């Protein structure tokens, strides 16, 4: 009799653990939003439009190991408070899902290192990624929310060979 009670308790603990793990997974699972370049995507309280600007070889101060792939970032904060923006929120993915981080090169006054985005004031920045560029490859830009934006959304924008 005691053996049956112990087995029932163990089964109950296992089922409870599975239910709790499933709940936590679905509660904190990222929400991937896929769009093509030129179309808006909302990540947290910010609406982004990303467009590719092309490639370049840097300048006398900053040279890439491969080629710089440059993008323009248009953003508008829909929240009631200002929010922080940084180049670290953006990354580039290639066909193999290899991740490249943004490079701050100070090529123009619009290069994004870190900034604050005011409510309902659209702004534009540029950033670039040091990649082994291949014109046949598909490239996607990923956008992560900042910690303050506390969103599970992750924007993925196809910018080449979609």
What's the confidence (pLDDT) of residue 28? Answer: 85
Residue recorded with tokens 């100070």: 106
- What one-character DSSP code corresponds to residue 89? G
Write the burial class of residue 128 (CB in 10 Å: 0-12 exposed, 13-18 middle, 19+ buried): buried
Threshold 0.85, pTM exceeds: no
β-strands 153-160, 31-36 pairing: parallel
pLDDT at res. 135: 93
93-144 pLDDT tens trace? 999 999 999 988 778 888 887 888 999 999 999 999 999 999 999 999 999 9
Tokens 């792939």, located at residue: 69
Let me know if domain 32-160 sits in CATH 3.30.70.660.
Answer: no
Span between the terminal Cα atoms of the chain, in Å? 64
Q: Where are the domains of the chain?
A: 32-160
């Amino acid at each position: 009799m005691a053996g049956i009670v112990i087995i029932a308790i163990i089964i109950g603990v296992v089922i409870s653990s599975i239910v709790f793990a499933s709940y936590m997974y679905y509660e904190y699972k990222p929400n991937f939003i896929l769009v093509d370049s030129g179309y808006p995507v909302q990540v947290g309280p910010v609406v982004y439009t990303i467009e590719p600007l092309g490639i370049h070889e840097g300048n006398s101060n900053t040279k890439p190991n491969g080629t710089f792939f440059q993008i323009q970032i248009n953003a508008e904060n829909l929240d009631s408070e200002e929010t922080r923006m940084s180049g670290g929120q953006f990354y580039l993915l290639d066909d193999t899902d290899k991740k490249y981080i943004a490079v701050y090169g100070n090529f123009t006054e619009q290069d994004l290192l870190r900034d604050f985005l005011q409510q309902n004031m659209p702004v534009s920045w540029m950033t670039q990624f040091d990649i082994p560029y291949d014109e046949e490859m598909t490239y996607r830009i990923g956008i992560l929310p900042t910690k303050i934006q506390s969103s599970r959304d992750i924007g993925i924008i196809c910018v080449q060979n979609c």
